[in-house]
Structures are given as C-alpha cells and as structure tokens.
Amino acid sequence: MSRTLFFAKRNTLEIIRDPISLFFGVLFPVLLLGLLSLINSAIPAESNMTLYQIDTLAPGIAAFGLCFLSLFASMLISKDRGSSFMLRLRTSPLRSWEYIAGYCLPMIPMAMVQVLFCTLAAIAMGLKSTIHILSVILGLVPTACLYIALGLLLGCVLSEKAVGGICGALMTNLAGWLSGTWFSIEMIGGVFEKICKILPFYPSSQAAQALLQGDWMLALPNIGLVTLWAIGASTAAILVFIHHH
C-alpha cells in the first residue's frame, strides 16, 4: 500500500501542476451551472419548465462535471506511456492493480472538491442548504471512479493526442446527452430512454437528484448500477494495462 500511496503522491503533484486540469475540473461545472441558471431565469414560470431549476440542475451538473476526470486520467497515463517514465516504473515492484490505484487515488478527492464547489455555487444561486448535500458528495464517488476508470482504460491504448478528442469531446458529449442534464429523456422515450437507463450516465444524474431530496430508495438502485459499471471499467483498465505493458 505504501508503494501505491507514493505513486499516488507523484500523480497528485502532476495534476496540481496543470492549471488547465484544475480549471475544467473545478471551475467549468460552476460556470456551466451559472449559465444554465441564467437561461432558467429567462424561462416564463407558466411554461412549467423544471429541468433548469436549481434543485434539479445542480445535482445533474455535479454528476456531469465528473466526466472531465476521464480526460485528466487518460492524459496522465498516456503521457507517461509516451515517456521514459513508464519504462522506469516497470522496473519497480508495483503490480498492475497498484498502478491503476495510484492513478485513481489522487483524483477521488479532486472529484469530491469539484462536487463541493458546484453545490456551494448552487447554494449561492438559490439552492436550499441541507445535510443531504453531503450525501450527494459521497454518493457521486462511484460516478467519479467510473469516469476515472474509463479515462485510464482509454489512456492505456490511445496516444496523448487521441485521448484529447475521445475523452475530451466524445466523453463529455455522451455524458451530457445521455444523462438527461440538458433535456428530459422521458420526453423522447422509446429505445433511447431504455438505453439511457442501462448506461451509467443517466443513473448517476438520477442518483444525485434523489440524494439531494433524501430519497434513498430511488438513489440506491442507481448508485448500485453505476458501481457495477465502475467495477467493470476498473477491471478492464487493469487487464488492458497488463496486456499493453
């Protein structure tokens, strides 16, 4: 464990040295929350449009914002793969799962800080401050683990340039369109709605919204589904890391 923690400390320093990562990881979801709140203020009350209301929007944005962790994780590991650093690591006694854990550990606190900043900003915009906000922060840890694992999985097979497009553009679009953050998937229905409920993006958003309302009966099944996806992605990342290294 001490070897993993030492490796995680090195990765923490790498993340801190990258101000762009910190901006997108912490500030961008807050800016997005503010922009959509402004849009909501311009929507007439008689339209009964609740999607962009702060108590619905804040947990959705908090869940969506974690998708940027995929970009950070993939760029970090792909950058290491393209340098002599990975060759030096292979001479160390670290096992494959310890490598993956070393990349994951520093990003989980970053994810929790990101959700905290997003919820604090939401409170400033009118969200009612309750103890349930702490549940949202903890309940989104499986979502953070999922995005980190997906980033590491892609970073193990793609170049540093390629992960910028895949994890930056593609992942954020998938997370946005399939999470129900921008529009109600129930309005579309059909096969699209069924796909969204199977994939982890929509359940993560639903879990965050349910936790904010204190509805654990709705939150737990969604958290469970996201956790299964996170375990699968983490296992795949470890296996691919073994194969490619």
25-43 residue pLDDT tens: 678 888 888 888 787 777 7
Half-sphere exposure of 116 (CA within 13 A, CB side): 8
pLDDT given for residue 204 in this prediction: 95
Which pLDDT value is given to residue 39? 77
pLDDT of residue 47: 59
Q: What is the C-alpha separation between 213 and 65, in angstroms, rounded?
A: 20
pLDDT at 143 over 90: yes
Is it the case that residue 188 has pLDDT exceeding 70?
yes
Spatial neighbors of 172 by CB under 8 A, at least 6 apart, are: 67, 68, 71
pLDDT of residue 172: 83
Residue 210 confidence (pLDDT): 93
**The pLDDT of residue 169:** 75
- Alpha carbon distance 178, 229 (integer Å): 15
Mean pLDDT score, 112-127: 88
- pLDDT value of position 105: 82
Asked whether residue 61 carries a pLDDT value surpassing 80, the answer given is: yes
pLDDT of residue 32: 84
43-64 burial by CB neighbour count: b if 16+ within 10 A, else e?
eeeeeeeebbebebbbbbbbbb
Residue with the bigger pLDDT between 103 and 123: it is: 123
pLDDT score of 101: 80
Mean pLDDT of the chain: 81
What average pLDDT does range 155-177 have in this prediction?
A: 78
Specify whether the CB–CB gap between 104 and 145 falls below 8 A.
yes
Residue labelled with tokens 């879990």 = 207
For range 217-242, the mean pLDDT = 91
Task: Quote the pTM value.
Answer: 0.86
pLDDT of residue 46: 60
Token code pair at residue 148: 């980190």
pLDDT digits (tens, 9 = 90+) for 199-212: 999 999 999 999 99
Q: Is the pLDDT of residue 240 over 80?
A: yes
